[in-house]
């Protein structure tokens, strides 16, 4: 146990932890919102995230990003990558809703069935990405698409279009442009979603369905649309998270969704599943706790620390830190 | 309700028919000749390769399987009327999948030897089964030392193990990288942990710190902070390339300027493709010989696969050739093949091939490589 190391590098570990925690928090939003509205865990959400990371990487590759790209062009490419990631993730989330949930919900299937169909969807999406070379080969496109589909089960790197530049120092740690972008970008998204749910008309619809679906329907809220909107917002946020993730980690793979999804789900439960601000707090806490835990116990204990923390919090607060449902959140 | 039932029955009939047909197929294909040497080469034998052909570690697996396939192709050209069938079985180098893959190779009576398993973890899972079935093995890449200490009579290793590689890693750190503050990082694989441990003990007091990461991990920020905090001027990472490539990217992004040293598990073109500029200057140790310097092998390899031979390609080629020499001499059953391999003594492209009583390679060349301009350049032979 190396507490001395933790205190010497406190700022460093905290800031890099916050950066990863922001990604967890944005992905956790998708889990918690769907739970709030449907009381279901959308296990395919991890794949929604993974498709976003791929979209971001492919966008930069398609635009010819390389280490030599000028700063101006690089910023443009990254903006395109962000938009591509959000659109693709949003689209995949809508597809998940359309094919894994709606047919079952329309038939009033038991909730457990939808849960299983989401798990199936998750495997389907991940393997489809992992086998994209074979799928494109059926259509004879694999040669044209080689930079995107070649080596389908290996890592897809994001071209090095940005070099992290030190911006300012805190406690001996030089905060880089990427740290700032990740944490700042995530904060803007979080505040945006939070305000959208609290203030807008559509947000009120989401809250009303979360609170009492039948009364909401009686009051003229179209619950199918609300469910769609919930998946869409979750997907868009997962896309933004995917962009920030690949900017930070530098690469992705067809199976990155699994571990990150588990972590984000943990963050959602930690903060109180169904609670928007809880998911945000849970993500940030988890990211920082993992880093501190890695520092004190060793990096291989990272996941142990995360889950022990979850168990401890649930022992004392069974509904999570801010355990309050989405519908009951004050407007 | 009658329609689905009819369909179900039809399906069942079709399934049974398929089973019967495939069963017939196997019996007909079975080689008629039994017993031992009959003068000429044995026909209808199968030689298998076992390792990752898909999955995260497939880069290394494909380089090795290509080497073995080249050997089989050359053999079949020579013996067009009496071919050897090459079976590629994909374990994804996953210890959980390895026993199942091993079982299916054992159950195929025509399989007379296995080049592999590729990695140490899957070897630990599968080799006991192979040993029980008397299936001769030559691994071209599993380097965990304890593999040869289990009393498996079928085990042979055509390259040096990590016990011999660890001190060489230490030598690279101190002599080539000129490190005064070396730091080591291991993954959680059988291979990575042992090799890093051997390196740590060879470094002794010079070591300034050690960290351990998990397979599949993608965020290494805590590790980056540890390396920077220790002010390390060289880092050795004992593990495989999927983690190695992200680790060096994040170390460089974190502002670390020292020399990165990796073992054979990272030496794959994937590492250079993914890590890009961050990979430049990486030093690599490998008990494998540089395939592109062996002209005859490299030319044949390029002609067949349109690329330069990869890590373990020459070793897998040699391993396959040992088995093929046995088949050529007329051996058509496993225990005779195992004796043949154990007593084999001949020239290979990577080294003089012979095995000691534990199945270890008698000759152990270890090479240092350096990543320069996106290529692995052989620096020198360390041992």
Return the CATH number at A124.
1.10.3470
Band of residue B19 on the pLDDT scale cut at 50, 70, 90: very low
* A128: in domain: yes
Residue B113 has pLDDT above 90, yes or no: yes
With CA atoms as reference, report the closest residue to A3 among B235, A13, B231, B185: A13
Predicted pLDDT at B21: 45
Mean pLDDT of B86-109: 94
Residue from A213, A313, A298 nearest A6 by CA? A298
Chain A nearest CA to B256, separation (Å): 12
Per DSSP, helices labelled H in chain A are 3-8, 10-38, 45-62, 71-96, 102-106, 111-130, 132-138, 146-149, 177-199, 201-211, 213-218, 223-249, 256-271, 276-297, 302-316
pLDDT at B192: 92
Q: To the nearest whole angstrom, how far is the Cα of A121 from the nearest Cα of chain B? A: 20
Which segment of A132-141, A240-249, B233-242 scores lowest on mean pLDDT?
A132-141
Q: Do the chains contact at B274 and A157, CB–CB below 8 Å?
A: yes
Answer yes or no: is A249 within a domain: yes
Tell how strand B283-286 and strand B352-354 pair up: unpaired
pLDDT at residue A9, rounded to an integer: 86
CA distance A88 to chain B (A): 22
A13, B221: Cβ pair inside 8 Å? yes
Are B311 and B264 in contact by the 8 Å Cβ rule? The answer is yes
pLDDT in tens, B279-321: 999 999 998 888 777 888 999 999 999 888 888 999 999 999 9
The parent domain of residue A71 ranges over 3-154+169-328
Q: Does B16 score more than 80 pLDDT?
A: no
Rg (alpha carbons) of chain A, rounded to whole number:
20
- State the smallest CA–CA distance between residue B334 and chain A in angstroms: 35
Q: Tell me the mean pLDDT in the region A93-97.
A: 95
CB contact under 8 A, A302 and B276: no
B38 at A interface, C-beta within 8 A: no
* A159 part of a folded domain: no
pLDDT, tens only, A184-229:
999 999 999 999 999 999 999 998 988 888 899 899 889 889 999 9
Is A224 a domain residue?
A: yes
Q: What is the mean pLDDT of chain B?
A: 87
Contact residues, chain A, for B278 at CB < 8 Å: 160
Q: What pLDDT band is residue A4 in, cutting at 50, 70 and 90?
A: confident
Number of domains chain A is built from: 1
Cross-chain residue pair A16–B220, CB shorter than 8 Å: no
Rounded CA-CA distance B193/B239 in Å is 8
Measured between CB atoms, does A294 come within 8 Å of chain B? Answer: yes
A294 CA to chain B: closest CA distance, Å? Answer: 6
Give the gap in angstroms from C-alpha B263 to the nearest C-alpha of chain A: 20
Cβ of A291 within 8 Å of Cβ of B222? The answer is yes
Cβ(B39)–Cβ(B330) below 8 Å: yes
Q: pLDDT confidence of B25, banded at 50, 70, 90?
A: very low
Section B203-217 average pLDDT: 91
Can you say whether the dihedral through the CA atoms of B273, B274, B280, B282 is positive or negative?
negative
Band of residue A322 on the pLDDT scale cut at 50, 70, 90? confident
B284 within 8 A of B370, measured Cβ to Cβ: yes
Task: Compute the distance between CA of residue B165 and CA of residue B183 in angstroms, rounded to an integer.
Answer: 17
- Does residue A89 sit in helix, strand or coil? helix
Residue A292 located in a structural domain? yes
Q: How far is A112 from chain B (nearest CA, A)?
A: 26
Residues 43-72 of A with CB under 8 A from B: 67
Q: What is the pLDDT of residues B245-264, one digit of tens each?
A: 999 999 998 889 999 999 99
Contacts of B54 in chain A (CB under 8 A): 153
Instruction: Identify all chain B residues contacting A248, using CB atoms and an 8 Å cutoff.
Output: 219
- Of A176, A250, A291, which is closest to B249 when you measure between CB atoms? A250
Cross-strand partners of B223: none
Cα distance between residue B244 and residue B223, in whole Å: 12
The answer to whether position A75 is within a domain reads: yes
Contacts of A300 in chain B (CB under 8 A): 188, 212-214
Name which of B185, B225, B245 to mutate to probe chain A: the one with the most chain A Cβ atoms within 10 A of its Cβ: B225
Query: Mean pLDDT over residues A307-322, rounded?
Result: 87
Instruction: Judge: B223–A299 Cβ closer than 8 Å, yes or no.
Output: yes
Contact call for B277 and A300, based on CB within 8 A: no
B209 touches chain A (CB under 8 A): no
| CATH tag for B162-286 (out of 3.50.50.60, 3.20.10.10, 3.40.50.2300, 1.10.1060.10) | 3.40.50.2300
Closest partner CB to A153 (pick from B54, B217, B228) = B54
Q: Using CB atoms, which residue from B56, B214, B249 is nearest to A153?
A: B56
Closest by CA to B323, choosing from B313, B309, B333, is B333
Does pLDDT of A256 surpass 80?
Answer: yes
The confidence band for B236, taking pLDDT boundaries of 50, 70 and 90, is very high
Any idea which residue has 């192709």 for tokens? B73
Give the pLDDT confidence score for residue A151 in this predicted structure.
76
Cβ distance B277 to A9 less than 8 Å, yes or no, reads no
The CA-based dihedral angle spanning residues B71, B72, B73, B75, taken in that order and rounded to the nearest 10 degrees: 90
Q: Over 70: is that where the pLDDT of B33 sits?
A: no
Sign of the dihedral through C-alpha B299, B302, B305, B311: positive
d(CA A68, CA A74): 9
| Domain presence at residue A161 | no
Residue numbers of A between 159 and 178 with CB closer than 8 Å to B: 159-160, 164, 166, 174, 176, 178
> A211 touching B, CB under 8 A?
no
- What span, in angstroms and rounded, lies between the C-alpha atoms of B33 and A321? 73
* pLDDT of amino acid A328: 56
Q: How far is the CA of A257 from the CAs of A150, A261, B20, B213, B360, in angstroms?
A: 20, 5, 42, 19, 41
Would the CB atoms of B55 and A294 count as touching at under 8 Å?
no
Q: Is A153 on the interface with B (CB under 8 A)?
A: yes
Give contacts of A20 with chain B, Cβ < 8 Å. Answer: 219, 221
B126-160: b (≥16 Cβ within 10 Å) or e:
bbebbbeeebbbbbbbbbbbebbeeebebbbbbbb
Kindly list the domain boundaries of chain B, sorted by start residue.
Answer: 7-161+290-365, 162-286
How would you class A153 by CB atoms within 10 Å of its CB: exposed for 0-12, middle for 13-18, buried for 19 or more? buried
> Hey, is B227 helix, strand or coil?
helix
A198 touching chain B per CB within 8 A: no
Nearest CA in chain A to B222: A291
B7-161+290-365: CATH architecture: 3-Layer(aba) Sandwich (3.40)
**3-class secondary structure, B170:** helix
pTM, 2 dp: 0.80
Q: Which of A16-20, A66-70, B274-278 has the lowest mean pLDDT?
A: A66-70
Q: Do A249 and B250 touch (CB under 8 A)?
A: yes
> How many CB pairs below 8 Å do chains A and B form together?
98
Would you call the peptide bond into B117 cis, given omega within 30 degrees of 0 as the criterion? yes
Using a CB-CB cut-off of 8 Å, the residues of chain B touching A9 are 225, 229
Q: A262 contacts in B (CB within 8 Å)?
A: none
Task: Identify the pLDDT of residue A324.
Answer: 61
Q: Tell me which chain A residues have a C-beta less than 8 angstroms from the C-beta of B213.
A: 299-300
At B39 the pLDDT is 64
Tens of pLDDT, residue by residue over A121-180, are 999 999 999 888 888 888 888 778 878 887 787 888 888 887 777 788 887 788 888 888
Q: What 8-state DSSP symbol labels residue A274?
A: T
Per-residue pLDDT, averaged over B186-204, amounts to 91
Asked if domains B7-161+290-365 and B162-286 share a fold, the reply is yes
Q: Tell me the pairing of strands B234-238 and B209-212.
A: unpaired
Q: Which residue has the higher pLDDT, A246 or A143?
A: A246
Whether residue A12 and residue B255 make contact (CB cut-off 8 A), yes or no, is no
Using a CB–CB cutoff of 8 Å, tell me whether A304 touches chain B.
Answer: no
B59:A154 CB<8 A: yes
Nearest CA in chain B to A304: B214
């Amino acid at each position: 146990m190396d507490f001395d190391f933790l205190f010497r590098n406190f700022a460093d570990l905290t800031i890099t932890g916050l950066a990863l925690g922001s990604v967890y928090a944005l992905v956790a939003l998708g889990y918690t919102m769907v739970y709030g509205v449907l009381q279901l865990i959308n296990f395919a959400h991890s794949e929604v995230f993974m498709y976003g990371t791929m979209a971001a990487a492919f966008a930069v590759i398609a635009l010819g990003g390389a280490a030599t790209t000028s700063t101006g062009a690089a910023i443009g490419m990254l903006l395109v990558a962000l938009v591509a990631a959000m659109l693709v993730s949003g689209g995949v989330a809508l597809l998940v809703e359309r094919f894994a949930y709606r047919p079952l919900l329309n038939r009033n299937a038991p909730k457990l069935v939808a849960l299983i169909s989401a798990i199936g969807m998750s495997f389907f999406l991940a393997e489809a990405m992992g086998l994209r070379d074979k799928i494109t080969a059926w259509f004879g496109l694999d040669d044209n698409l080689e930079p995107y589909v070649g080596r389908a089960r290996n890592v897809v790197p994001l071209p090095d279009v940005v070099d992290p530049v030190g911006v300012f120092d805190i406690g001996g740690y030089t905060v880089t442009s990427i740290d700032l972008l990740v944490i700042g970008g995530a904060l803007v998204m979080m505040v945006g979603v939070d305000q959208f749910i609290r203030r807008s008309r559509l947000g009120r619809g989401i809250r009303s369905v979360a609170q009492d679906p039948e009364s909401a329907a009686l009051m003229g809220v179209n619950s199918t649309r609300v469910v769609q909107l919930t998946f869409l917002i979750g997907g868009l946020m997962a896309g933004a998270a995917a962009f920030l993730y690949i900017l930070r980690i530098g690469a992705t793979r067809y199976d990155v969704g699994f571990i990150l999804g588990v972590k984000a789900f943990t963050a959602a439960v930690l903060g109180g599943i169904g609670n928007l601000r809880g998911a945000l707090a849970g993500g940030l806490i988890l990211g920082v706790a993992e880093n501190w835990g890695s520092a004190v116990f060793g990096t291989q204990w990272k996941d142990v620390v995360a889950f022990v923390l979850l168990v401890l919090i649930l022992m004392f607060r069974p509904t999570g830190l801010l355990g309050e449902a989405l519908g009951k959140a004050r407007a | 309700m009658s329609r689905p039932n009819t369909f179900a029955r039809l399906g069942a009939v079709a399934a049974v028919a398929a089973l019967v047909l495939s069963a017939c197929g196997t019996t007909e294909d079975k080689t008629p000749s039994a017993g031992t040497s009959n003068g000429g080469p044995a026909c209808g034998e199968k030689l298998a390769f076992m390792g990752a052909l898909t999955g995260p570690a497939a880069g290394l697996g494909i380089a090795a399987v290509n080497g073995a396939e080249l050997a089989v192709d050359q053999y079949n050209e020579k013996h067009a009327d009496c071919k050897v069938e090459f079976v590629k079985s994909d374990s994804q180098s996953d210890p959980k999948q390895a026993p199942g893959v091993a079982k299916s190779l054992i159950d195929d009576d025509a399989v007379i030897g296995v080049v592999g398993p590729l990695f140490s973890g899957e070897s630990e899972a599968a080799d006991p089964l192979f040993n029980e079935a008397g299936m001769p093995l030559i691994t071209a890449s599993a380097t965990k030392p304890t593999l040869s200490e289990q009393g498996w009579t079928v085990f042979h290793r055509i390259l040096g193990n990590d016990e011999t590689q660890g001190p060489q890693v230490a030598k690279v750190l101190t002599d080539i990288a000129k490190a005064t503050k070396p730091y080591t990082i291991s993954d959680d694989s059988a291979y990575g942990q042992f090799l890093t441990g051997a390196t740590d003990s060879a470094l002794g007091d010079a070591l300034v710190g050690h960290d351990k990461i998990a397979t599949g991990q993608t965020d290494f920020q805590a590790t980056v902070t540890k390396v920077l905090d220790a002010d390390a001027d060289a880092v050795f990472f004992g593990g495989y390339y999927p983690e190695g490539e992200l680790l060096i990217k994040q170390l460089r992004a974190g502002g670390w300027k020292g020399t990165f040293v990796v073992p054979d598990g990272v030496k794959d073109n994937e590492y250079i493709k993914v890590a890009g500029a961050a990979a430049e200057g990486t030093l690599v140790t490998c008990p494998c010989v540089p395939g592109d310097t062996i002209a005859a092998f490299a030319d044949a390899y390029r002609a067949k696969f349109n690329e330069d031979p990869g890590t373990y390609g020459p070793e897998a080629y040699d391993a396959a050739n040992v088995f093929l020499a046995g088949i050529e001499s007329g051996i058509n059953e496993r225990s005779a093949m195992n004796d043949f391999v154990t007593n084999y003594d001949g020239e290979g492209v990577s080294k003089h091939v012979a095995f000691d009583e534990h199945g270890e390679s008698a000759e152990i060349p270890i090479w240092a490589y350096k990543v320069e301009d996106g290529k692995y350049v052989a620096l020198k032979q360390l041992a």
